[in-house]
Structure 1
Amino acid sequence: HIKKRGIEVKIDEIPIDDPATYKLLAAGETVGVFQLESQGMRRAIAGMRPDRFEDIIALVALYRPGPMDNIPIYNAVKHGEQEPDYLHPLLEPILTETNGIIVYQEQVMQIAQVLSGYSLGEADLLRRAMGKKIAAEMEIQRARFVEGAVEQKVDKNQAGMIYDLVAKFANYGFNKSHAAAYALVAYQTAWLKANYPVEFLAGIMTLDLGNTDKLSDFRQEAVRMGIEVVPPSVNKSGVHFGVLDGKIVYAMGAIKGVGEQAVEHIVDVRGDEPFKDLGDFATRISPKVLNKRTIENLIAAGAFDELNPNRAQLLDGLDRIIGMAQRTEENKTSGQNDFFGGDNAPEPLILNPTDPWLPSERLQKEYAAVGFYISAHPLDEYRELFTKLRVQLWKDFERSVKAGSSAGRLAGTVTAKQERKTRTGNQMGIVRISDPTGQYEAVMFSETLNQCRDLLEPGQSVV
């Protein structure tokens, strides 16, 4: 995508100190960024506010059960709110980079080398013994470590205390070279997102072509970043997500029930000439490649809207569209070109007058085909009312919870409902809900479920 703009990016040669990238990381805006996109990781990186590559390496190594308890200390030292504890002056050069915390296995080896005169081979045996927690071996190593430290003029008790701390950290210490490799790919994806957001999001949406939940999240991220996502279109879309005039073009290959082969066929017969109308489309496609179900899903997703925005009429006339495609193909096979008339213009395709679907029905069918609402949202018409009723949108609610709020009033359109039994045998419900800013789940127990079950059918909108 970037190449199409005439820009050549050599990803291994990008600057490692790009201000835009660190600004994006420090804000926790890492949806789609390798290793850094989970909710917890986004909170952790926003708290750390990284401004150098070493911070990313440390975060990758620390963000695991156990070590993550040290993230607040790392951040406090980094931001000057706390003094680092280097355990001993000899260890300061080893622990400065990680703000006084032992993070990496390599640091464990360096500490043994500097403080107790270990060779690197011996230090590696120490690291392995600590990692495996073999008690007998640990005692032998403890004696060796303390003895070596005393020779370096370290107090015996302090040496024992340092050994115990090192052993505790070594147990879950991470290999720095491993963390650095992960951190580099994380930085590279963050750099792409910070500098080429449209192309980056189009790329990762293609990567998750079949994952509706991810596509919904990435589309919301595009909206948050002010990037328009153009709905699928037989005249603009391809198998994969595209980029056009600074916008993301939704992939026809991401529509449910529309296979790659069908989309490739549409793109192939379209060539450089967009379809003028439905008749033009019907006479160019092969009904052997595009079946009724495929075209039905393309209609529901809005892929024909620029040829005819009345999706109900298109669905009603589906047999005519397929029929015309079949007649054209039969005539081509038998060599009857007079079907087109003298000027090679396709015959017009006349559909019966049909009332358009109501907005709610139109959006429900779109949801079924795409996996989320793309052209509009059932709640759009209630926005003003929500302000009066103090109903929050999901994104605003998320923000208020982060700021300390414990409750809120939300609205949403039900998209799915599951009922299951709890361990005590009572019924509970899990309802998937969508609003214009995202999708979320609500859990309810038997009493609420019994009261509200009828309201919770897919397509219903509730407060």
Structure 2
Amino acid sequence: GRRVARNAPKYEHAIRFGLGAIKGVGEAAVEAILKERATNGAFTDVFDFASRMLESGALNRATLEALIQAGAFDSLHPNRAQLISGLDVILGYAQSVVRAKASGQNSLFESAAQEEITIVKPALPAVDDLSTSEKLALERELLGVYLSDHPVRPYARVLAGKTVPIAHAAEREGSTITIGGIITSVQTRVSKKNGSRMAMLTLEDLSGSIRVMVFSNVYEQYREIIQKDRVVLVRGKVQTSEFGNRNGEGSGTVEFRADAIELAPEPSSVDDAPQVYIRVPRCHLDQLRQLRQVLEHHAGEAVVRFEVVVAGARRIVEVPQRITPSPAALERVRQMLPQAQIRLENVPSQAS
């Protein structure tokens, strides 16, 4: 992550994100922050940061706001909403400190340090923090990437059971599949011929991103769903792009042509989904292949997880296929894996 309070050498084995990558924070401001930190030590809190940087002449309201929204102060103050709401309070305190130091330097009887001690740090507004989705949206806007987390992560189980990972889409060129993820951008175009509207989306999951073409007939049907920051499932065909930008860039790349779009089920509803646990002491590869055919033949909404023992430790492996846990399907599994123990969760009694 990006931090104003710490020096880089301690984190040589970690992924760091430079302050200069934050939109609205100029190179001069970054250099001033690094110089101040190297000269006078780490910043102790946001008030200390604001007063020291304001004194150096390298801080304004827009820069401080961008740093807060990007999460640069999370290690010092994790409630970003409180800092955003308290911008005027923070800057007011910093101005008071700067004035006090200037006054102290001109006095024969008191030092700047003594003057500074008398300035009490004000309380920040009592507000709830931003939601995770709000934080991630700001990170995407200011950094160009999701940094502290990914908005699709809570939907991982939903997507695993219903979609092909975007990173594997190229392998399915020409096929009709379902992909899913968060819409990170929406661009619309209006036809000069008939005034119809189409859209180009960027869809991103945990594995990658892809351009999605939504032509006019599909766009009109699903336009209410097509909104930035929504997590959706998109049914369509993988194809090679025929279109590029104005400079001809982007043509020949893999893209997705949408036929149908729906909102992804909320993660909370997946927690209540029916689940089938199959515990097996051992299993041969040919049995797994046959079992996959059984799961595909009895496709449904129940999550299937295998409990296996590897090197003396019990592991749970979730498979991408989902099943309808009917008596016939479960009996077929027992026939293939006589030693298997099957446990059902959130499954109506008549299904077992």
TM-score past 0.5 threshold? yes
Structure 2 residue 94 is the aligned partner of structure 1 residue 325: yes
Measure how far apart 1:423 and its partner are: 6.4
Instruction: Judging by fraction of residues, say which structure has more strand.
Output: 2
Structure 1 residues 415 and 291, CA gap change in structure 2 (3 angstroms): same
- Across the aligned residues of Structure 1 and Structure 2, the Cα RMSD in angstroms comes to 2.7
Structure 1 residues 439 and 295, CA gap change in structure 2 (3 angstroms): farther
Secondary structure class of the residue paired with 2:101 = helix
Structure 1 residues 396 and 339, CA gap change in structure 2 (3 angstroms): farther
Contact 1:283 1:328 in 2 (8 A): yes
Contact 2:44 2:76 in 1 (8 A): yes
Contact 1:414 1:434 in 2 (8 A): yes
Q: Tell me the residue number matched to 1:101.
A: none
- Gaps (5+ residues) in structure 2? 234-352
Q: Quote the Cα distance in structure 1 between the aligned partners of 2:67 and 2:141.
A: 11
Letter in 2 for 1:257: G
* Bigger Rg, which one: 1
Letter in 2 for 1:392: V
User: Residues 335-346 of structure 1 correspond to what in structure 2 (within 5 A)?
Assistant: 335=104, 341=114
Q: Tell me the residue number matched to 2:300.
A: none
Q: Tell me the residue number matched to 1:248.
A: 15
Structure 2 residue 72 is the aligned partner of structure 1 residue 299: no
Instruction: Judging by fraction of residues, say which structure has more helix.
Output: 1
Deviation by residue 1:211-260 (Cα, 9 ceiling, x = unmatched)? xxxxxxxxxxxxxxxxxxxx11112478xxx8932223211111101101
Q: Tell me the residue number matched to 2:48.
A: 280
Letter in 2 for 1:428: M
Contact 1:237 1:249 in 2 (8 A): no
Structure 1 residues 306 and 345, CA gap change in structure 2 (3 angstroms): farther
Q: Tell me the residue number matched to 2:269.
A: none
Contact 1:269 1:285 in 2 (8 A): yes
Q: Quote the Cα distance in structure 2 between the aligned partners of 1:445 and 1:372.
A: 27
- Gaps (5+ residues) in structure 1? 1-230
Structure 1 residues 343 and 333, CA gap change in structure 2 (3 angstroms): closer
Secondary structure class of the residue paired with 2:72 = coil
Structure 2 residue 204 is the aligned partner of structure 1 residue 437: no
2:169 to 365, 375, 397: 397
Letter in 1 for 2:139: E
Q: Quote the Cα distance in structure 2 between the aligned partners of 1:448 and 1:371.
A: 29
Structure 1 residues 374 and 349, CA gap change in structure 2 (3 angstroms): same
Letter in 1 for 2:167: K
Measure how far apart 1:424 and its partner are: 4.3
Structure 2 residue 184 is the aligned partner of structure 1 residue 415: yes
Structure 2 residue 135 is the aligned partner of structure 1 residue 362: yes
Structure 1 residues 264 and 458, CA gap change in structure 2 (3 angstroms): same
Secondary structure class of the residue paired with 2:223 = helix
User: Residues 80-91 of structure 1 correspond to what in structure 2 (within 5 A)?
Assistant: none
Deviation by residue 1:335-372 (Cα, 9 ceiling, x = unmatched)? 26667558969844521221011111121122111112
Q: Tell me the residue number matched to 2:34.
A: 267
Contact 1:379 1:413 in 2 (8 A): yes
Structure 2 residue 223 is the aligned partner of structure 1 residue 461: no
Contact 1:278 1:349 in 2 (8 A): no
Secondary structure class of the residue paired with 1:324 = helix
Measure how far apart 1:268 and its partner are: 1.6
1:449 to 219, 223, 235: 219
Deviation by residue 1:95-117 (Cα, 9 ceiling, x = unmatched)? xxxxxxxxxxxxxxxxxxxxxxx
Q: Quote the Cα distance in structure 1 between the aligned partners of 2:82 and 2:152.
A: 25
Structure 1 residues 427 and 343, CA gap change in structure 2 (3 angstroms): closer
Secondary structure class of the residue paired with 2:201 = strand
Q: Quote the Cα distance in structure 1 between the aligned partners of 2:142 and 2:116.
A: 38
User: Residues 165-180 of structure 1 correspond to what in structure 2 (within 5 A)?
Assistant: none
Structure 1 residues 378 and 237, CA gap change in structure 2 (3 angstroms): farther
Structure 1 residues 432 and 323, CA gap change in structure 2 (3 angstroms): same
2:3 to 203, 224, 233: 233
Letter in 2 for 1:327: S
User: Residues 105-124 of structure 1 correspond to what in structure 2 (within 5 A)?
Assistant: none
Q: Quote the Cα distance in structure 1 between the aligned partners of 2:119 and 2:176.
A: 60
Q: Quote the Cα distance in structure 1 between the aligned partners of 2:43 and 2:79.
A: 17
Contact 1:279 1:346 in 2 (8 A): no
Contact 2:167 2:209 in 1 (8 A): no
Contact 2:101 2:112 in 1 (8 A): no
Deviation by residue 1:258-313 (Cα, 9 ceiling, x = unmatched)? 10111111112111621122222123111642111111111111111001111111
Letter in 2 for 1:332: K
Structure 1 residues 338 and 381, CA gap change in structure 2 (3 angstroms): farther
Structure 1 residues 260 and 369, CA gap change in structure 2 (3 angstroms): same
Q: Quote the Cα distance in structure 2 between the aligned partners of 1:345 and 1:311.
A: 27
Contact 1:313 1:354 in 2 (8 A): yes
Deviation by residue 1:30-78 (Cα, 9 ceiling, x = unmatched)? xxxxxxxxxxxxxxxxxxxxxxxxxxxxxxxxxxxxxxxxxxxxxxxxx
Q: Quote the Cα distance in structure 2 between the aligned partners of 1:341 and 1:278.
A: 21
Secondary structure class of the residue paired with 2:212 = strand
Secondary structure class of the residue paired with 1:286 = helix
Deviation by residue 1:107-158 (Cα, 9 ceiling, x = unmatched)? xxxxxxxxxxxxxxxxxxxxxxxxxxxxxxxxxxxxxxxxxxxxxxxxxxxx
Structure 1 segments of 4+ aligned residues over 4 angstroms from their partners = 336-347
Secondary structure class of the residue paired with 1:257 = coil
Structure 1 residues 269 and 351, CA gap change in structure 2 (3 angstroms): same
